[in-house]
Amino acid sequence: MVDQAAGVSPSTVSRIPNGTAKVSPDKQRAVDEAIARLGFRPNPVARGLAGGRLATRHLIAAGHTHIASIANEQAQQDAMDRQAGNVQALEEAGLPLDPALVVPGDFTEPGGLMAVGRLLDSRLPFTAIFAANDQTAIGAALGLHRRKVRVPDDISLVGFDDLAPAKLAIPPLATIRQPVYEMGCESARAMLALLRGEMPQPQPQPQPQPQLPLPLPALIPRASTRRPVH
């Protein structure tokens, strides 16, 4: 199994390939080597797209039409998929995407703090923010608080990942739950199947690596969103 081969937990294995786990370079290298050796890689595209759509659809259903986003500026596939899901939800609702309302972050609280400052300084109208992950959202919430902007009365806020601090935030953060434990278990089962020869083994020539189905994300509605006040 990747987690045993790399010496990390199953949940860490499930998050490292999509770039949402912050680990030491040694652990990153160990997981990468184990994945390459076992010929396995999870496919996060469906989850990232679905989660981004869910988050933005939640804001649209609440009546928001001017939705800003704080996207991860690094070229990580899962981060790009989350933002692509956000864009898809806007397009499906017939809402325009204002590039000026898409600001870069870095998946950290300080990154969210700085990004929301840029949004407010732009003086462009928006009533909601989709943040690329919960750390970004928590940093954004702090930045809004420092500028005396109330969540959710003035700005609604949605994160992604449903990390432990999300439900302890003030107000509790609406977010997208990734079934990390289940993803780790699926990864472990896939590794056992590979070892038993039940999944295609890696070939000498470069070929697509085995993919496995993963549970889709779910919206966790909490008190950080509401209908906009006009």
Q: Are residues 35 and 55 in the same domain?
A: no
Is 152 among the domain residues?
yes
Cα 159 to the center of its chain, rounded Å: 8
In what helix (H) or strand (E) does residue 54 lie, and over which residues does it extend? helix 45-61
Its domain, for residue 17, covers 2-42+184-195
Q: Over 80: is that where the pLDDT of 37 sits?
A: no
Is 220 among the domain residues?
no
Measured CA to CA, the distance from residue 26 to residue 6 in angstroms comes to 10
Average pLDDT of the segment spanning 72-92: 89
Phi, psi of 208 (to 5 degrees): -55, 135
The CATH number that applies at residue 189 is 1.10.260
- pLDDT computed for residue 74 by the predictor: 72
**pLDDT digit string (tens) for 126-137?**
999 999 999 999
Q: Are residues 29 and 103 in the same domain?
A: no
Total tally of structural domains belonging to the chain: 2
Q: Over 50: is that where the pLDDT of 2 sits?
A: no
Q: Which residues of 104-120 are buried (b: 16+ CB within 10 A; e: fewer)?
A: ebbbbbebbbbbbbebb
Q: Are residues 170 and 141 in the same domain?
A: yes
Is 211 among the domain residues?
no
Q: Are residues 32 and 111 in the same domain?
A: no
Q: Over 60: is that where the pLDDT of 98 sits?
A: yes
- Which among 174, 159, 144 is positioned nearest to 108, based on CA atoms? 159
